[in-house]
């Protein structure tokens, strides 16, 4: 397999890992924002803080990996994204930074400044919505064909029109809903050692979020046909991507049934497989473009020596960073569970 295709696959994998890990953290921020009232509102917010507090920065690792691969192996695509889509990317990055800062402020203010605790929590939750939405709109602009470049590699239609359109917006909404869906299912397991009522709260939220994901997916079908013709062609019946979307729909349904039956670990596995299937369907439908229809993987690929060096670096990432991340996750999750039991 050519090195450019291998690195494009590594780029997609890093984005997928960010969605599965960091995306759930963003969804938790949404649930924290919505947990304002009710007898268990405070307990829900504290569970969320214990679940994501130690790990959210580590989950941003995958953003760095994606940026390094794109910049080194596919520089023309990196330049096109950074120039034409700088508005949604700057907003998404601002969301990442402000979300992390206000999460830290919120945790420190919990005991000594109750009003600040509430205010910081609202900022944290709001920023958790902004980031997945704008990352989704950027992805929608890349795949829709709305973003066209002139001979100077500047956007033909300006810096807003490419990502303010039906397909990018529905993808942004799907991004937010998917983060909420993953997060609620993950939190049912984090709540297992605490109050069973908290587990039930997030079970219901997971079912609601999953239904919303399904409804948005149905709404996206005619929008894709009208506003993203290349993606629509790639998802046509009989194409490999259409098989993957069918698998994704089946896993979404399975996760909802398993949540209803309170089979939480299996529901989490089904939710993860659903997101994986959606990402794979997207990648197959968009192939071979990094920017539809102007930049392909082959056109944007760096010279072969650079691709070989990047492939070696990816192996280093897998061998060193993979086990390190797993150990970090196990260490802090066990501590978080122990703190929850002490309470």
Q: Over the stretch 112-139, which tens digit does the pLDDT of each residue have? A: 777 888 888 889 899 999 999 999 999 9
**Amino acid 170: pLDDT:** 97
Residue with tokens 């602009």: 141
Q: What is the pLDDT of residues 167-204, one digit of tens each?
A: 999 999 999 999 999 999 999 998 887 778 899 999 99
Side-chain half-sphere CA neighbours of 69 within 13 A:
27
Q: What is the pLDDT of residues 277-330, one digit of tens each?
A: 999 999 999 999 999 999 999 999 999 999 999 999 888 888 887 787 777 777
Distance CA 297, CA 7 (A): 9
| % of residues, the chain, pLDDT over 70 | 94
Q: In this model, does residue 110 exceed pLDDT 80? A: no
Tokens found for residue 207: 């079912």
Distance CA 124, CA 138 (A): 22
What residues have CB less than 8 Å from 180, skipping those under 6 apart?
A: 27, 30, 31, 205, 209, 212
DSSP 155: B
Radius of gyration of the chain (CA): 20
C-alpha 119, offset from chain centre: 25
CB-based contact 274:257 (threshold 8 Å): no
Taking the chain, what is the end-to-end CA distance rounded to the nearest angstrom? Answer: 53
The mean predicted confidence, pLDDT, of the chain is 88
Q: In this model, does residue 341 exceed pLDDT 60? A: no
CB-based contact 190:47 (threshold 8 Å): yes
DSSP 324: H
Q: In this model, does residue 338 exceed pLDDT 60? A: no
CA dihedral for 139, 143, 146, 151, sign (positive or negative): positive
**Amino acid 158: pLDDT:** 83
SS3 content of the chain, % helix, strand, coil (to 5): 80, 0, 15
What residues have CB less than 8 Å from 310, skipping those under 6 apart?
A: 3, 7, 69, 72, 73, 302
Rounded alpha-carbon distances, angstroms, from residue 135 to 1, 69, 140, 168: 29, 17, 9, 10
Task: Kindly give the pairing relationship between strand 289-291 and strand 295-296.
Answer: antiparallel
Q: In this model, does residue 38 exceed pLDDT 80? A: no
Q: In this model, does residue 335 exceed pLDDT 70? A: no
Distance CA 185, CA 181 (A): 6
């Amino acid at each position: 397999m050519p090195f450019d295709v291998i690195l494009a696959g590594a780029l997609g994998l890093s984005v997928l890992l960010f969605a599965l890990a960091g995306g759930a953290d963003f969804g938790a921020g949404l649930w924290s924002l919505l947990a304002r009232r009710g007898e268990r509102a405070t307990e829900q917010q504290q569970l969320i803080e214990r679940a994501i507090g130690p790990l959210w920065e580590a989950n941003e690792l995958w953003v760095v990996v994606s940026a390094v691969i794109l910049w080194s192996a596919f520089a023309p695509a990196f330049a096109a994204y950074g120039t034409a889509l700088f508005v949604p990317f700057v907003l998404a990055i601002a969301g990442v930074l402000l979300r992390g800062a206000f999460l830290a402020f919120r945790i420190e203010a919990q005991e000594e400044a109750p009003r600040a605790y509430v205010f910081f929590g609202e900022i944290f939750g709001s920023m958790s919505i902004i980031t997945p939405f704008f990352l989704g709109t950027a992805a929608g602009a890349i795949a829709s064909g709305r973003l066209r470049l002139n001979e100077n590699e500047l956007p033909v239609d300006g810096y807003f029109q490419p990502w303010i359109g039906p397909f990018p917006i529905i993808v942004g909404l799907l991004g937010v809903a998917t983060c909420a869906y993953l997060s609620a299912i993950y939190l049912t397991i984090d709540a297992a050692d605490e109050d069973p009522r908290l587990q039930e709260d997030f079970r219901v939220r997971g079912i609601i979020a999953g239904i919303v994901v399904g409804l948005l997916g149905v709404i996206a079908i005619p929008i894709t046909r009208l506003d993203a013709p290349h993606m629509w062609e790639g998802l046509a019946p009989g194409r490999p991507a259409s098989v993957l979307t069918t698998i994704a729909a089946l896993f979404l349904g399975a996760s909802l049934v398993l949540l209803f039956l309170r089979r939480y670990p299996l529901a989490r596995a089904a939710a993860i497989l659903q997101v994986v299937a959606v990402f794979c369907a997207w990648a197959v439908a968009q192939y071979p473009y990094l920017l539809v229809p102007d930049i392909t993987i082959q056109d944007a690929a760096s010279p072969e020596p650079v691709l070989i060096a990047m492939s070696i670096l990816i192996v280093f990432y897998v061998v060193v960073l993979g086990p390190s991340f797993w150990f970090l996750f196990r260490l802090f999750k066990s501590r978080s569970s122990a703190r929850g039991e002490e309470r």
